[in-house]
Amino acid sequence: ENRIKDLIAAMPVCLEADAAASAAKKAKRAPTEAEATLIARSDTLREKLVQVDVHASVGPLETGGTHETGGSYVRPALASTKARLAAGLGSFEESLEQAQLLAATASA
């Protein structure tokens, strides 16, 4: 089974089904039998191919939880902010000034 090939093959079916569903909704009517069959087929393909919750072991958000939920995971932006504050750089402007000084000394 080639997942990428299956996704590529499903794309036209899903796009056509989305267009049919949109047209039926816009016309304020139920889908025709052919449209309903197409929509059901695309729903089946999506259900088979798009599985975002099957990878519970990938990434700390799914396994460790955040500090807010009692877990040990700290989002990268919060960790870098904490590191910047610990380095005595309280604002973005101070960080930018230090970065510019470092860049100037590195190029000199």
Compare 4 and 13 and report the one with higher pLDDT: 13
Compare 107 and 55 and report the one with higher pLDDT: 107
Q: Give the other-Cβ count within 10 Å of 38's Cβ.
A: 20
φ, ψ for residue 27 (rounded to 5)? -80, 0
pLDDT given for residue 53 in this prediction: 58
The model's pLDDT over 60-75, given as tens digits with 9 standing for 90+, comes to 454 556 556 666 777 7
The model's pLDDT over 10-63, given as tens digits with 9 standing for 90+, comes to 999 999 999 999 999 999 999 999 999 999 999 999 988 887 655 554 454 545
pLDDT given for residue 89 in this prediction: 61
**pTM, entire model:** 0.48
CA distance 25 to 19: 10
Mean pLDDT (whole number) for 79-95? 72
**CA nearest 41: which of 67, 66, 9, 76?**
9
Q: How many CA atoms lie within 13 A of 48 on its CB side?
A: 16
